Amino acid sequence: MRLAIVSVIFLLVLVGCEKSYQPKPKGFLALDYPEAEYKKIQLPCPYTFEINKLVEVKASVTNNPCWVDLEYPDLNGTIFITYRPVRDNLEALLIDGQKLPLQHTIKADEIEGDTYINKKNNTYGTFYEVKGDAASQAQFYITDSVNHFLTGSIYFKTQPNYDSIVPAANYLAKDIRRIMESTKWAEIQE
């Protein structure tokens, strides 16, 4: 009996002295993007704005010289810019600009719209931020209500998984806000 008790105590000491294993804490992806530096874009169009220096400006597949794709190769994302002149069609353009974010309501968890007004540059519009697994995480439109209507939207070349792309989407959303803030209209020659 004495031997059994000593054996049990000995086994407990051996087992108790083993290194204890604990699960590793969850790791989070730390993405660092460079501080944005901006430059003015020069296009043969009745508008100008500032873009991030990381952007590669590509012609849109529509062959419309005022529709451009602002590609971010390192982020695998693109801001698609479209321009339309206002010709007694402002209401239809506004409806289209407001309808685009609503197309993402099926996958979106939330869509926030912020009204944008810049009297100095004569630009008025709305910035939409889409949260959730939607195809586009941000869209905007701006207009001078008389001659010009500009829209933009972010898309990534990957399956939309909001948790994975939110850092890149936030980075591009800041660039969209810069585009909105820096847009200036040229006079239209009739």
For the chain, list the domains and their CATH numbers.
61-185 (3.40.1000)
Mean of the per-residue pLDDT values for the chain? 82
Residue pLDDT, tens place only, 9-50: 766 666 666 566 666 665 555 567 889 999 999 899 999 999
Residue pLDDT, tens place only, 94-115: 888 877 665 555 555 566 778 9
Integer CA distances (angstroms), 178 to 11, 38, 49, 83, in order: 69, 9, 8, 17
- At 109, the amino acid letter reads D
Residue pLDDT, tens place only, 155-183: 888 766 666 777 888 888 999 999 999 99
Looking at residue 9, what is its pLDDT?
Answer: 73
Q: Cα–chain-centroid distance for residue 117?
A: 21
Q: Is the pLDDT of residue 148 over 80?
A: yes
Looking at residue 70, what is its pLDDT?
Answer: 96
SS3 134: coil
H-type alpha helices, the chain: 2-16, 90-102, 162-182
More confident: 65 or 89: 89
Beta strands in 15-168 (DSSP E): 38-40, 47-48, 50-52, 56-59, 68-72, 77-85, 108-118, 123-132, 138-143, 148-156
Q: Is the pLDDT of residue 90 over 80?
A: yes
Looking at residue 187, what is its pLDDT?
Answer: 73
Looking at residue 25, what is its pLDDT?
Answer: 61
